[in-house]
Structure 1
């Protein structure tokens, strides 16, 4: 079974944070970059986020552009990509925006939380357990079986960290915003982990583009060179 091509997408501050420590979401991207993200989302077969991200940001994870939705439909695709949420605890609110709009929804969890998620969400989403422990290889394999060829991952930091550490991310899209958060308790893009190749491994740069007032960096994390 061919696994999906996994694209990790994140907007970060210059000092590497996804958000600040406040209650209200810090908007790092500019309007031009939000539109770019919408285009990347429209090209994906599925969009994946962690439960903490939907609890904190309450995103809809839809394709906003009417033109892009029409182009998807013309290709025989649903107007919006499949929405995929991963959770270990099963603490998902059925009132969150992600369940109320746009296409197919799928939740991956573990055996101990599966019934809890089914009870809470009912018919809002299909629930799949990866077994006694959460297994990213199972998640990607199941998505591949469902025809997902391109998976866009939109957060949060725990999800990004695990996928990069497991060498399961094929491409990184990092939009660097011109601001500094400077708060130790704010969420970071990547957290401490044993990453492939260690600290001397250098990823291949696929592109560098200015989008409004942010800089988009595209890297191939599986294409590494090492320098001492």
Structure 2
């Protein structure tokens, strides 16, 4: 376990939020099985985005619910990273204030280096649970995203990909910390109030009348990719 870093401030990473959503804004349905919103071409696009990133971040709720591995799946992309002097896989990052993360999750047993940001209390729990599996960083009484980004910047992370879930996306957007938003909109309607949404109610910068600048809109098979610049207005 390491404590909160007090080193010199460095450049924060460029933050890209990435999510696949239904037409009505859901990340999944409420069934036990994961709802596949993307198609093969879009999964490959996401794999390319991971390969271009220095780190990939996901929230603890998503880890427990989906049990993802968060790998660069294409061997050619991993080889290209290594040829450029980078590790085959980006750093895998998660956040957990409570420290309630089991060592059996696939996240800890695949890919390269792994990092957990937690509270002082949560870190004491995680240090024993994840011994030999991940570095645990204690950030004090709360996990603030600004402190996370500052620490990642000091570690040399220049491009951070955030893959969810909804609470994490909401926090990055409401705190004005996302540089880019990539939404893959699938031709599905979920319509289940119990299912997780892309974002939760929050005070977003500029309020409901602020229009984000659209960077790109294109089809990826039957999915529509929308790229926005959350820090800029249209």
**Same fold judged by TM-score > 0.5?**
yes
Cα deviations across residues 66-97 of structure 1 (Å, max 9, x unaligned)?
Answer: 00001100110000000001111111111111
Say which SS state the counterpart of residue 122 (structure 1) adopts: coil
Residue 190 (structure 1) shift:
0.8
- The answer for the alignment partner of 1:10 in structure 2 is 19
Match of 2:187 among 178, 197, 206: 178
Query: How do residues 54-203 of structure 1 correspond to structure 2 at under 5 angstroms?
Result: 54-203=63-212
- The answer for the alignment partner of 1:26 in structure 2 is 35
Q: Distance in 1 between matches of 2:58 and 2:18?
A: 10
**Taking structure 1 as the reference length, what is the TM-score of the superposition?**
0.98
Q: Distance in 2 between matches of 1:68 and 1:133?
A: 36
Gaps of 5+ in 2: 1-9
Say how many residue pairs are matched.
225
* Contact kept in structure 1, 2:55 and 2:160, CA below 8 Å: yes
Q: Distance in 1 between matches of 2:142 and 2:65?
A: 24
Gaps of 5+ in 1: none
- The answer for the alignment partner of 1:204 in structure 2 is 213
* Contact kept in structure 1, 2:95 and 2:143, CA below 8 Å: no
Q: Which runs of 4+ in 1 moved over 2 A?
A: none
Say which SS state the counterpart of residue 211 (structure 2) adopts: strand
Matched, 1:36 2:48: no
Q: Distance in 2 between matches of 1:152 and 1:8?
A: 6
Say which SS state the counterpart of residue 131 (structure 2) adopts: helix
**Taking structure 2 as the reference length, what is the TM-score of the superposition?**
0.95
Say which SS state the counterpart of residue 186 (structure 1) adopts: coil
Task: Give RMSD over aligned pairs.
Answer: 0.6
